[in-house]
Amino acid sequence: MFTVAIIGRPNTGKSTLFNRLVGKKLALVNDQPGVTRDRREAEARLGDLAFKVIDTAGLEEGDRTSLPGRMRAQTEAAIDLADAIFFVFDSRAGLTSADRAFANLARRAGKPLIVIANKAESRAGAAGAVEGYDLGLGEPIAISAEHGDGFSDIYSALREVFPLEQEEAARCEESNKEIGPEVDLAKPLRVAIIGRPNAGKSTLLNRLLGEDRVLTGPEPGLTRDTISADVLWAGRAIKVYDTAGLRKRAKVTSDLEKLAVADALRAVKFAEAVILLLDATVPFEKQDLTLADLVEREGRALVIGLNKWDLIGSESAKLAEMRAEAARLLPQLKGAPVIPISAETSRGIDQLMEATFHAYEIWNKRISTAYLNRWLRDTIEQTPPPAVAGRRIKIKYIMQQRARPPYFILFGNQLASLPASYERFLINGLRQAFDLQGVPIRISKRTGDNPFTRRRER
């Protein structure tokens, strides 16, 4: 697919332009410069042109090993991948020396380059847009990404460099969607990676991809946007979401971090399986347990990855201890797999992904009503429900209403009085009997009408 990279110095409105082209608020936008650090890709459409667009970090000078230098390397990688470049500058601020330096960088790429003067909705912005001519890269296009002005001019400029064969392919693809072709509609498994800051989430994503797709480093909180990437692992298509590190709510004070946290929580809601990555040197902190509880509340399949396992001594004894600790601290997700890994060395990642696939299968499991009711009859015979106010609770029937996660309905009398302890007993029994380890289980209760009451009313 034809690819366009959006580049420019910090705070010129690149992410706002990216969101407008994609038609969704995928990239975080804030007045603070330098919000975007990793490159983000998505499919965009402008008129009848379908293409891939890459949002990049603001270009800054810096040593290659420094954070600005590593961010710049991500932007340079995006330029290499692109077929065309949108060079964005802030028309209200006018051209700066940094704009001129980075325009030269873009020029050396030898690719079609479209100069965009953003924030040109005001009189001052319109006047500043003219300065774009000084770059010697052609006529600047004055737009307002925030208000959606000037996009017809971007379309005209892009159409001049858009390959005709790809334009035809895009039309055919759109036509096929309307007809409904016989294609494999299987969607990739959506997996979110969450954890505290500096747990190694971005390093894990890079190992899954086999390339340095996102920034990593010793600095906590490097990731801000939730970055998605398509991975093919053991022949299985996966869309992996790398999220910002999640700290205690009381420590999240800046507006930018609040946006990053909201973006990460949204990724959990849209995921099907979640990898909770813990730092094996300090596992099961209170925040780790809070995140596991979040996954349970959202009803997602959970796998726990113990990262930095290469730093742990006496491994077998320690692993048994940590698995026992997980079972004790997370009874609502009893049996969730706990996999030791080292994202830095790639150790254990195969086992982590196998556990993720298996957890997803359990999350989708359906059990026949006949099997469920045989289990219920035997369970009640061995351990009947307690009596309430001298009357015994009667559970007559059970059925599974849906999966993802497994959801069961109990039918009987006085079920509103069923103690929570007995409900937990039933949930643990379902886990054991039907291999529902590690996934949330939902139970609702329905009490049937008493037929004798209806007879007396007649």
pLDDT tens digits, 97-144 = 888 888 888 888 889 999 999 998 877 777 888 888 888 888 999 999
Residue 168: CB atoms within 10 A of its CB come to: 10
**pLDDT single digits (tens) 302-352:** 999 999 999 986 677 889 999 999 999 999 999 999 999 999 999 999 999
Count of structural domains, the chain: 3
Q: Under DSSP, is residue 340 helix (H, G, I), strand (E, B) or coil?
A: strand
The pTM of this model reads: 0.72
**pLDDT single digits (tens) 69-106:** 677 788 888 888 999 999 999 998 888 888 888 888 88
Q: Does residue 155 share a domain with residue 169?
A: yes
- CA-CA distance, 253 to 277, in Å (whole number)? 23
Query: Which range marks the domain in which residue 130 is found?
Result: 3-179
Q: Phi and psi (nearest 5°) for 47? A: 65, -125
Provide the pLDDT for residue 453.
Answer: 46
Provide the pLDDT for residue 347.
Answer: 93
Q: Does residue 358 share a domain with residue 219?
A: yes
- CA-CA distance, 249 to 258, in Å (whole number)? 9
Return mean pLDDT, the chain: 84
At 391, which CATH number?
3.30.300.20
111 CB burial (10 A radius; 0-12, 13-18, 19+): middle
Q: Does residue 263 share a domain with residue 172?
A: no
Look at strands 84-90 and 189-195 and give their pairing: unpaired
- Whole-number CA gyration radius for the chain: 27
Q: Does residue 414 share a domain with residue 348?
A: no
Q: Under DSSP, is residue 26 helix (H, G, I), strand (E, B) or coil?
A: coil
At 337, which CATH number?
3.40.50.300
Q: What's the whole-number mean pLDDT along residues 180-205?
A: 78
In a domain, 263, yes or no: yes
**pLDDT single digits (tens) 234-261:** 889 999 998 877 877 766 656 656 676 7
For residue 99, give every residue at least 6 positions away whose Cβ sits within 8 Å of its Cβ, in sequence order, or none: 8, 9, 89, 135
Q: Does residue 163 share a domain with residue 89?
A: yes
Q: Does residue 243 share a domain with residue 221?
A: yes
Helices and strands (DSSP H and E) totals, the chain: 14, 17
Q: Does residue 359 share a domain with residue 377?
A: no
Q: Under DSSP, is residue 288 helix (H, G, I), strand (E, B) or coil?
A: helix
Q: Does residue 332 share a domain with residue 377?
A: no
In a domain, 218, yes or no: yes
Give the domain-ending residue among 316, 333, 363: 363
Within 50-189, where are the H helices? 67-81, 97-108, 123-129, 151-161, 164-179
Q: Does residue 80 share a domain with residue 226?
A: no
